[in-house]
Structure 1
């Protein structure tokens, strides 16, 4: 949590989406001395909105020694920062703001009250593009946000306010690293502002640079070097009392080695690894693998033998190499100008440029027992061929972890360009107006190095001896030496190079050049926004001024994605981005009003009501209305009650509507056999999607007793229900539902017509039935003088009562889901933060204790059958310390230690080939992290 200075916070409520995340209530606290913070939560100034808001100031950034926005927000209970540590086809290293865990696409991100364009084609925003050097404060608004702030704010709003009136120079230099010395983070940020022409012209420039040097693997941690994986239990039946799944250390691949291994089961039992091992004279129960010379040798099986993993044995393993975080290099530049044309009119413009480069590696291209090897293969050892001939076997299946290919490297670059311009002014008595335009052009690129063209891999593996030369040749080239363009559109046959799969390092450089390459995805996200706003007080009531804000906005969103020709033809093993383009415009008009009803009367210290209405016209789906009504009631000066009721909306973005297929490869457990296999999963857009609608209710009380100065408390209840939410059913659930007799899901499950193995699962988004969440946010804060200094104590807690989705008549509850986290991801039932911050003279000291509740590995487990032996996940507590010292009035030195006692995360592996062993993003995986730095102010 934030330390060193008090944080101004007001409890938060959320709008809705797939799921809600833990939310902590916050309270209104006085800002630290000389720290100016403006809390709005509304388009109307000078008014305390009934909508809960949390605000973080510039001092909070300094106290936490942040170098990215994610550093600032990842401890805020209202938000979950989702950082992709390295999964194919996803933006590597991106940090997306996710209010209450409702989904990143339902959190509206603003800079100075203006929208931020999507930074990737999937319609999310990487907060790394925000210039940390210039942030003055961050407003986090939930509950009734769409009517006041605009469409798409279903979960709420995160508004980054930049310091446009900076005078002088700010410089911050820091260095951080883990105690394991495997992750280093140098960071520099600077900002400068000056006024000219008798202060009519103000110029501001700023820049940030950061580098997370080096990827950090699980094997570098004591908890990550046990080769832990999630296994299917081959002994399981629904009635024998054994668990369906097992979490096991020393997990090895059942049918993958560096040199290749014959699969244990086969359509022809005589062609299985165990049957051929007996033909070769190996010990009973062993299989057949190939040594470095390509000769067959025994393969020893372990226990708990499943389709992908087993415990022990001779199989390969890549678990240790799973990433905790990727390599990131980030640069952000900003320039702004404000010019007072007259006393009442100001022209403004600014330009933001950001570039974020990331790199992550994944497992080499694996083949989990799916390679067909014929008896006349050119590279097959004579002893193996003889054994096959004696058994009358014409082919067998081979599995291989293809280390020859090298690691799969995913490199991405995000570039954001944002120009804003406009006029703002004032007239009459307190009336203000603004006209603004904003043009954003954001580019995203991902390169997938060492990818594999599947057709070339298959053709090269099917080799024979050329009778004319006595040398290996591809069978396809021997039978069709001059293929036509129609037969061979990509030149796969004409250029075919035989591939030797037997033995580690057996693949030649010529073969690698033939089938291995780099695929790419390049997209541009365009956003143009033009807006007009007017606010003021048209008249007064007996209790004070009625305040009004009205405005209109036009926005155009466009996304275009390009990919290489092989991707477009789905020829690569992974990613295979499909080109598409889509665009739409949105027209909006809103009005917000505050009406005071009572002030300083016997029954009410204060009573006011707040309402807002917005009409939004989507080009593709028509008009939608959003609204909010709220009230503040203070019967006495010490107590204030508040409540809001709102309708919020979000329309599908271009990706959800028009994308032609996003491919990932993850484990799917086949209920028919209880075996796990790595399976292609493709998610496509759905042009029939409609806007989703959320109903949000919040009610709370703020208590600030006059008899105990410095003490404040708040309690807020929230309840959210979203109807027609844009959602997808998890691929595993699609398979399970199909096998449970729900035939509407079976069209998405593709099986091999011969083997009946699941080869692909298709997923499309749809408007779900409902999503619900409810909970309570609590905060206690007490600030008082102590020993010549100032001590601030705070306790913040969030309890989630319900977090459920209902789709096709099936309801799932995700409160307490802390393990494999299928979409939507679950959240802890409890989160508690305890802060103690002490300031005296030139010193500031801070201590934080953060508790994150555990829960269940999967909340859907152990309901009707025994899915896993122990479905519980224990919670974790973390201690952070910070300190700073003002060396001079211009120079400050600081340090921070996060996760001081190096608390390990719970072991909750997911089911991919290279499992993320600690899969929940709520728990720290980095370990103790130390930061030192200095600040200069001139």
Structure 2
């Protein structure tokens, strides 16, 4: 294993994109670039056989195939999130609707926590099968979307939600059709490029606690320009407020694993329990002496002292209290349950019919998202204990006397310095992408299309109120200057111009806030990414068998991606307490060619309405990791019009991205908590990741087989049941801090070298380089069903249900396979996920309701042998909405109300703040108005 440590070219900082939002957004409304109007794999208008939702839009854009043929249904399962679904659920951000799909496991949304430094910070990243957002390919109108992060993922919050027509999700490998990253599946976000008329949407939301407000507004127009051209324009804005964890008193506590007081080696119980109200025992808000003869002396306001009495049993650096204590320190006290966010997007699409056989089209997309959230202020958990010398100028006289009596020259001081405020992080991303393409009808059944696209994105990170440990510790070491009697930093005596401002830590409220300018700084990270795509393909039916026409598609594609990330000098020197981003630079070129065919083998026979096979192969060359071959082979069999069987097997890949290849040592989180398997106690340590230029492509073998029922005697009923299995080898990942120490303890000697312990054996830091170290195997069942009831004069009722059961989610890191299906702490993969929705419409009134849930789970499967209360209950959420249409002249108004988590379901005790896909906001209400004409 080889890691990078230097010699990386430093790019220049990207322009301040914060200043140019208005200009770019205006440009997005008056410019036109391109997207293919008839996308590879699109079926001609006809029934959407794989869409039990019965989406009103008849054609399919993404089916995991490049073949274009009327009525063709690929063997790959497809789930459609239609326009009616989006209207009923009224998501504030698009990802909220997608995350309801049971196959979308551990998907990041602004409402699911993850606002810690290593989290998603309010971003919207789709994660199919729980295999990671970087293994789900995101397309817009059938073409690869420009990434918005340095790991190649797409924050779909930058897309214009008002123009989203539907979302087609292939829940299976599709690399042979669409290239790298489609290991877990593909999400194609279809925008309405044929909009005719005007439509608007204005919406506001608020929680039952009168916080977390959201506002959203959008405007779109489409129309013909003469006889040959069609133009679509759209603009949208969104704003949300933060929900701090302190606003939910019943969630305002920390959780830890602590010794089980009832455990004995012979009574069948386990040595640990998961407990609430676990606070830090090595610090207080005013300061706590943690060692030596004066240990357990705490400082009160004004410098007075008092004995410190733990509120309960002490476990390492933690103490377990019998009840909630908001006066004690814990890391999550400054967390945001949701991060405040602003986003804007603009879109323009222009198509032109050059002739009946030639169409050119272009579009331009601009989107941006800005999120900010908070993290812990300077505390012992980050900076370590402060070393207080006997001659400290602020030391209370009584304590100095005690030190003299005990012969003590210094002592360690633990402190949670809330006076300086929390660190604040701002994440800004924007993307602009345009493309130009042409579609041509050739002789006979042959068609051709070609396109070129270019996109750029900026991902800028600002880290305000960031403590600098070296400066902070110098400021704490305050002495009296013998020359003038003034209090100064000890370092100033030998270096008078160092700018150090002394800090008093003795007692809550004591620190001199003027010292912030010296002890704190601002971290700045600028990532600029650009991507160029070009490709072309031809498709047609060269000949026929007795059962029908043989279809083929062939083409070639080229992609070039470049990333440059620069950082400020303090981060580059790793001078902040945590989150020190590092310079990053790299580029990648990809050349691909593919061939696909569909061959009918039977039709019109008894017990064989149709039988077709589908095969594809793609050859790819990556400039960074070499050649790769992907393929798929599958087929469909319809004995009659009521039943269809489908099966497919594919080889899919994901090439290492630039961050995984080239990144330097990066902090993975502050105060990372792990259970030390040597001592069975919970400890805090610094965690880091690093790149590895020797990485190879991941390889997945994916199989699925299923049945689709559309019985003739029940024409409006649809049901599909599919079994899937994914075996991902050479998976690129870093171990979590807990996995690293567990693997070392299990005997993986190569892992132990990445763990640093102090002279007493306590873990102080953990480094995890990216490596092709894992095999991930997951399999399970997908169920999708719908039924439409025509109630005559009483209206129409539609019911739809989706469910996913994860039988296995096994990870092998080289020392044996562990099945994490049902684990929430490490992988967030409850075995069962489901969503049931009903929609009743009578005239101009529509009422909808839905229930979605997660099944019972385990707190930690990795530590299951150690934790007594390891089981978590299942949870389900109820939502409902009503809308009323009002027609006025040529226009139509729609007023709607939506409520989510109506029953105020709380997360399990083990996850009060940021882990697990549980709602923490409580009941939430939205009121909106739509207008169209």
Change (3 A) 1:440 1:308: farther
Shift of 1:651: 0.4
Which residue matches 1:584?
588
Aligned residue number for residue 69 of structure 1: 94
Is 1:770–2:775 an aligned residue pair?
yes
Q: Does 1:465 align with 2:480?
A: yes
1:687 aligns with 2:702: no
Partner of 1:204: 232
State yes or no: 1:349 paired with 2:362: yes
Matched, 1:919 2:915: yes
2:314 is paired with a residue whose SS is coil
Q: Secondary structure at the match of 1:276?
A: coil
Partner of 1:190: 219
Please name the residue that 2:7 is paired with.
Answer: none
Equivalences for residues 588-667 of structure 1 within 5 A: 588-663=592-667, 664-665=669-670, 666-667=672-673
Indicate the residue corresponding to 1:780 in structure 2: 785
1:731 and 2:733 aligned = no
Instruction: Give 3-state SS (helix, strand or coil) of 1:460's partner.
Output: helix
Name 1:749's counterpart in structure 2.
755
Give the structure 1 partner of residue 108 of structure 2. 82
Match in the other structure for 2:506: 502
Q: Whole-Å Cα distance in 2 between the matches of residues 38 and 771 of structure 1? A: 30
Distance 1:605 1:854 in 2: 43
Instruction: Indicate the larger mover: 42-51 or 604-613.
Output: 42-51
Secondary structure of 1:147 counterpart:
helix
Aligned to 1:550: 554
Matched, 1:233 2:242: no
Does structure 2 conserve the Cα–Cα contact (< 8 Å) formed by 1:433 and 1:532?
A: yes
Summarize the Cα distance change of 1:236–1:810 in structure 2 as closer, same or farther, 3 Å threshold: farther
Deviation at 1:217, TM superposition (A): 2.4
> 1:456-492 CA distances to partner (integer Å, 9 max, x unpaired)?
11212222222222222322332x337xxxxxxxxxx
How many Å apart are 1:588 and its aligned residue? 0.6
Could you tell me how far 1:671 is from its partner in structure 2?
3.5
Aligned-pair CA distance for 1:545? 1.3
**Aligned partners of 2:790, 2:123: CA distance in 1, in Å?**
42
2:157 is paired with a residue whose SS is helix
Q: After alignment, is 598-607 or 58-67 more displaced?
A: 58-67
Deviations 1:757-812 (A, max 9, x none): 32211011111242111111223332221252222223332221111011112222
2:6 matched to which residue of 1? none
Q: 2:430 matched to 1:415? A: yes
2:811 paired residue number: 805
User: Secondary structure, in 3 states, of the residue corresponding to 2:778?
Assistant: strand
- Tell me what 1:486 maps to: none
The answer to whether the aligner puts 1:560 opposite 2:574 as a matched pair is no
- Given the alignment of the two structures, is residue 481 of structure 1 paired with residue 495 of structure 2, yes or no? yes
Matching residue within 844, 847, 866 for 1:845: 847
Tell me if structure 2 keeps the 8 A contact 1:229–1:319: no
Distance in 1 between residues matched to 2:184 and 2:632, nearest whole Å = 14
In 2, Cα distance between equivalents of 1:251 and 1:39: 49
Q: Give the number of aligned pairs.
A: 867
Q: Deviations over 1:470-525 (max 9, x none)?
A: 222322332x337xxxxxxxxxx722222221112222233211111211111111
- Conservation of the 8 A alpha-carbon contact between 2:602 and 2:608: yes
SS at match of 1:656: helix
Quote the residue 1:912 is aligned against. none
* Alignment partner of 1:177 out of 176, 196, 206: 206
- In structure 2, the partner of 1:21 is none
Question: 1: CA distance between counterparts of 2:366 and 2:788?
Answer: 41
The answer to whether the 8 Å contact 1:669/1:732 transfers is yes
What is the match of residue 798 of structure 2?
792
2:708 equivalent to 1:702: yes
Contact kept? 2:810, 2:817, Cα under 8 Å:
yes
Correspondence for 2:309: 300
For the residue of structure 1 that corresponds to 2:385, the secondary structure is strand
Distance 1:34 1:626 in 2: 31
Is residue 279 of structure 2 the alignment partner of residue 256 of structure 1? no
Note if contact 1:233-1:305 (Cα within 8 Å) is conserved in structure 2. no
Q: Conserved in 2, the CA contact under 8 Å of 1:234 and 1:674? A: no
Q: What is the rounded CA distance, in whole Å, between the counterparts of 1:317 and 1:89 in structure 2? A: 18
Tell whether 2:291 aligns with 1:291: no
1:887 and 2:886 correspond:
yes
Alignment check: 8 A CA contact 1:597 1:609 kept = yes
CA distance 1:784–1:698, shift in 2 (3 Å): same
- 1:672 to partner: Cα distance: 3.9
Relative to structure 1, the CA distance from residue 519 to residue 89 in structure 2 (aligned partners, 3 Å threshold; closer, same or farther) is: farther
Distance 1:689 1:374 in 2: 49
Cα pair distance change 1:784/1:151, threshold 3 Å: same
For the residues of structure 2 that align with 1:222 and 1:82, how far apart are their CA atoms? 24
Instruction: Measure the CA separation in 1 of the matches of 2:332 and 2:612.
Output: 59
Question: Equivalences for 1:506-517 in 2 at 5 Å?
Answer: 506-517=510-521
Match of 1:761 in 2: 766
1:553–1:39 distance in 2 versus 1, CA, 3 Å: closer
Instruction: Give the superposition deviation at 1:907.
Output: 1.9
- The change in CA–CA distance for 1:236 and 1:438 in structure 2 (over 3 A counts) is farther
Q: 1:146 aligns with which of 160, 171, 175?
A: 175
